Amino acid sequence: MTTTTDVCFERLEEFLQRVMGLVQTQSMDLTVELDLTLGQARTVFALACAERPMAISELAERLGLSVAAQGRTVDRLVSLGVVERREAESDRRVKLVSLTDRGLELSDAHGARKRQALRDVVDQLPESLRTGLSEALAPILAGDHLRPNDKEVPA
């Protein structure tokens, strides 16, 4: 029996939705503990992924917000001690933001909770299913099927 693309897609989608639902539920506890809004949490995680401090306008564009809304979010995160804001050396009108040590700890703790939640999901599986899942994933991950490539994406 061959598995069609549609069947594989539906199974994978349902599997990922279930897993991510469980992982998100556990990992979001940290943002609730700090009383962060979803927008504030998104800002923290965007800054955690950034390789350098970001201008508020650049952050707003990345997150699909207005500069004013992003500025208010940054203000709140500064008051919580999660983000720091400073003037760009090249243009004092540009405000750069980055995570404080507390912000980095928050982001790291969030990631750790996600990893633990995923481990909990795997631990819930019977050994035979864990083995089968691991064996199914090994050749997929060993290949280049899921790596970014340099091919242009059609418009």
Domains within the chain, CATH numbers bracketed: 18-122 (1.10.10.10)
pLDDT tens digits along 26-58: 767 666 767 788 889 899 999 999 999 999 999
Q: Identify the band that residue 149 occupies on the pLDDT scale cut at 50, 70 and 90.
A: low
pTM of the model: 0.71
DSSP 3-58: PPHHHHHHHHHHHHHHHHHHHHHHHTHHHHHTT--HHHHHHHHHHHH-SS-EEHHH
Task: Find tokens 């349902």 and name the residue.
Answer: 14
Q: In this model, does residue 12 exceed pLDDT 70?
A: yes
pLDDT tens digits along 54-99: 999 999 999 999 999 999 999 999 999 999 999 988 888 889 999 9
